[in-house]
Structure 1
Amino acid sequence: MRIFISTGEVSGDLQGALLIAALQRQVVAAGLELEIVALGGEKMAAAGAHLLGNTSSIGSMGLFESLPYVLPTIQVQRKAIAHLKENPPDLVVLIDYMTPNLGIGTYLRKHMPQVPVVYYIAPQEWVWSVSLRNTSRIVSFTDKLLAIFSEEARYYQENGAKVSWVGHPLVDRMENAPSREAARESLGIAPEQIAIALLPASRRQELKYLLPVIFQAAQNIQAKLPEVHFWIPLSLEIYRESLEKAIQRYNLRATVVSGQQQEVMAAADLAITKSGTVNLELALLNVPQVVTYRLHPVTAWIARNILKGSIPFASPTNLVVMREIVPEFLQERATPENLTQAAMELLLNPSLKEQTLTDYDQMRQCLGEVGVCDRAAEEILQMIPDNAMFVI
């Protein structure tokens, strides 16, 4: 069996790797062979995929922010389509990564309608869509949509997609997460030391728009709590130099860590973080967090005034329950002062921290049961035409 998987950015690479591992487990158990070709990143390659292109650093959020990635995105999309022409797969899995995957999905429906297309972790049109145009395109070429959020499932089903809600794959990933004590021992953090994780960037644009705000807040906290130490896990190795220069510039007591992101998060008393999948990881590890995000001011103005877009929340942690259970500061409210105040309250107010942990418990109930990746893999394998009688 041959499966083609297309995704991008750091989070897509992680989700793709978790899915590939589940697919391999089930195929081996059934005595079958599976070849996976993909657009993705190093984690997917390590899980067994042959990469056509590394897309983990090709991605952005916003209009102006996307301009440097237009040409790389077109190139990787064309490379994928050329491969599909020459090597028709038994099935295609698309994971998030909306712009390239819209092009790939549309091509498949027009030129290779016999190849089933599964969209796993569909673009969050249910959160920020200003029209149904992209939703309709997704539904038109998708044979099965595997939703990770219940609201996502409802939205796409109401708009004509065939949907299965499988739950969020991070539920599986957190099964093997280290305890706070084990993580601190691994990193050499003393039990009494205040450790704060800083997670400013998984996209290059975030180094420009978020890093200064988050690092200035860290500097403010350091002035108030001299015993604090900051830990910064690398999302991509290419960001190391920028982060280390910023640490010197802001005179932070901080350590950059590679390959131990989960340990850093598990060990932390608090995280100051960009909005994204990492917010759910922190919540599942019971780490209080302050969330922020900024776009280019012109992008934000266009979204508000021309596209008339609005979002209830940016952080997935809040979106899951549709209320603010972690403080988030967006655009004009994303200031060092606001981040500092929210962080200090979470660090010094035990009742506020306790309420956060209680809210995390409620959120966790909305993410599904363990076995998400296996359920997704089973749904995918059953879509392969010559494998209609595949039984797990």
Structure 2
Amino acid sequence: MLQNQPPIQIFISTGEVSGDLQGSMLVEALFRQAKQANIALEIRGLGGEKMAEAGAILLGNTTEIGSVGILESLPYILPTYLMQKQVKQYLKNHPPDLVILIDYMGPNIGIGNFIKHNLPTIPIFYYIAPQEWVWSLGSRSTAQIVKLTHRILAIFPEEARYFQSKGAKVTWVGHPLLDRMKIAPSREQARRKLGIQPDEIAIALLPASRWQEIKYLMPILFKAAQQIQAKMPTVKFWIPLSLPKYKIAIETAIKKYQLNAVLVSTPSDHYQTLEVLSAADLAIAKSGTVNLEIALLNVPQVVVYRLSDLTAWLARHLLNFSVPFISPTNLVQMQAIVPELVQEKVTPENIVHEAIELLTNQPKRQEMLNHYQQMKQALGEEGVCDRAALEILKSLPK
């Protein structure tokens, strides 16, 4: 590209903590590949602090307005609508050269449809498409995604097969967490850095990246931790802070349940979660992207998730909602690699049982680690973000 030409404008839209992480890794790769190709690039979008640190100019922060569930989403409808309205107006006034949508299903389909109708010549990429291949409630959302996208960059093999069968142009790039693992410390390095003694049992607790999880999940998880502590006095719990606004609530809960726990908080959590997970003998985590990080670090885990009782009832009885698995670790090969405790099965007793079993039953622990290795092979190879970035840059106007 000639130096006196204006930079190529890319718009990226994502939401929540995991989307911000994935977005930041893609932003870094886009800048890296653009520099090698002598392309001047400017990236704007919706995301969070990690994307901003990677060099994106944020038009709005979406890490704190996300939720899972019907009732749980209600408080975020208005803030999301207002942010969407503002962004659509910006896009209309300043059309980008290319748009990338990352997960964040409802808002991103809204943005994608707006661009398709008002700026139809702009190519739209969906990177990490909504998991319609797992929990599709009908063909409408799938059809919308296929219709509005220039290309889907799939991270799961099954995701690629599903969207291809529905008529989408798909490139399977692999899972970006494979790239993130390159910066993970070894178990020995992490334990030394955190000051964990050789005879100490370190359990990573990951209760929340959304406020609803602080409300519905954390109390049960901390009660379980209290019971584990009573049975195994050498246990110490390590809790990486997902968002600064949860710090007081978690610290208060640690005191309430009298846990021998450390809340790990640094100005940037880009590395701290990997450090805690690498050091752990076991992780007890809410369902999400972090489950894959835990698996890739070869740490046994128990996965838990809970919504309000009313939301769960509505989903089951009115929407006929059911999924084979909730954890990405199990979804990769549609196989029960890690135990999942969902809704009414999320009890302190069940969590304690699964946790103690994985800490003391060596054959069961080893079986999970063996399955991790098989699962890892299905995620592709390192260099995921660079492959995705190159695929995107190929579609830029010449």
Normalization by structure 1: what TM-score? Answer: 0.98
Aligned to 1:331: 343
Normalization by structure 2: what TM-score? Answer: 0.96
Counterpart of 1:253 in structure 2: which amino acid?
N
Q: Return the alpha-carbon distance in structure 1 between the equivalents of residues 86 and 194 of structure 2.
A: 41
CA displacement, residues 70-112 of structure 1 (integer Å, 9 cap, x when unaligned) = 0111011112111101111000000000111011000011010
User: What is the CA distance between 1:54 and its match in structure 2?
Assistant: 0.7
Q: Return the alpha-carbon distance in structure 2 between the equivalents of residues 327 and 181 of structure 1.
A: 26
Q: Return the alpha-carbon distance in structure 2 between the equivalents of residues 273 and 65 of structure 1.
A: 20
1:78 to 75, 78, 85: 85
1:294 to 273, 294, 306: 306
Runs of 4+ in structure 1 off by over 2 angstroms are none
Q: Return the alpha-carbon distance in structure 1 between the equivalents of residues 132 and 84 of structure 2.
A: 21
Q: Return the alpha-carbon distance in structure 2 between the equivalents of residues 183 and 242 of structure 1.
A: 26
Question: Does residue 369 in structure 1 map to residue 381 in structure 2?
Answer: yes
Aligned to 2:256: 249
Alignment of 1:117-132 (within 5 A): 117-132=124-139
User: What is the CA distance between 1:129 and its match in structure 2?
Assistant: 1.0
Q: Return the alpha-carbon distance in structure 1 between the equivalents of residues 41 and 358 of structure 2.
A: 48
Question: Does residue 52 in structure 1 map to residue 59 in structure 2?
Answer: yes
Q: Return the alpha-carbon distance in structure 2 between the equivalents of residues 44 and 324 of structure 1.
A: 33
User: What is the CA distance between 1:173 and its match in structure 2?
Assistant: 0.6
Of the structure 1 ranges 23-32 and 34-43, higher mean CA displacement relative to structure 2 is found in 23-32
1:94 to 92, 101, 113: 101
Q: Return the alpha-carbon distance in structure 2 between the equivalents of residues 336 and 311 of structure 1.
A: 23
Aligned to 2:3: none
SS in 1 for 2:332: helix
Alignment of 1:110-121 (within 5 A): 110-121=117-128
Aligned to 1:14: 21
Q: Return the alpha-carbon distance in structure 1 between the equivalents of residues 79 and 210 of structure 2.
A: 15
2:48 to 37, 41, 46: 41
Q: Return the alpha-carbon distance in structure 2 between the equivalents of residues 114 and 343 of structure 1.
A: 53
Q: Return the alpha-carbon distance in structure 2 between the equivalents of residues 87 and 160 of structure 1.
A: 31
Aligned to 1:63: 70
User: What is the CA distance between 1:236 and its match in structure 2?
Assistant: 0.5
Q: CA RMSD in A?
A: 0.7
SS in 1 for 2:385: helix
Aligned to 1:186: 193
CA displacement, residues 237-288 of structure 1 (integer Å, 9 cap, x when unaligned) = 1100000000011010101002311100100000010000000000000000
Aligned to 1:275: 287
Q: Return the alpha-carbon distance in structure 1 between the equivalents of residues 28 and 199 of structure 2.
A: 38
Q: Return the alpha-carbon distance in structure 2 between the equivalents of residues 101 and 11 of structure 1.
A: 15
SS in 1 for 2:32: helix
Aligned to 1:223: 230
Q: Count residues in correspondence.
A: 386
Counterpart of 2:212 in structure 1: which amino acid?
Q
Question: Does residue 135 in structure 1 map to residue 147 in structure 2?
Answer: no
CA displacement, residues 4-53 of structure 1 (integer Å, 9 cap, x when unaligned) = 00000000000000001100111111122100001000000000000001
Q: Return the alpha-carbon distance in structure 1 between the equivalents of residues 120 and 233 of structure 2.
A: 62
Counterpart of 1:169 in structure 2: which amino acid?
P
Q: Return the alpha-carbon distance in structure 2 between the equivalents of residues 249 and 121 of structure 1.
A: 39
Counterpart of 1:21 in structure 2: which amino acid?
E
1:210 to 217, 225, 234: 217
User: What is the CA distance between 1:298 and its match in structure 2?
Assistant: 1.4
Counterpart of 2:376 in structure 1: which amino acid?
R
Q: Return the alpha-carbon distance in structure 2 between the equivalents of residues 196 and 27 of structure 1.
A: 41
Q: In structure 1, list runs of 5 or more residues that go unmatched.
A: 388-392
Q: In structure 2, list runs of 5 or more residues that go unmatched.
A: 1-7
Counterpart of 1:283 in structure 2: which amino acid?
A
1:343 to 338, 349, 355: 355
Q: Percent identity?
A: 62
SS in 2 for 1:24: helix
1:103 to 107, 110, 123: 110
Q: Return the alpha-carbon distance in structure 2 between the equivalents of residues 65 and 355 of structure 1.
A: 36
Q: Return the alpha-carbon distance in structure 2 between the equivalents of residues 187 and 218 of structure 1.
A: 20
SS in 2 for 1:321: coil
Aligned to 1:233: 240
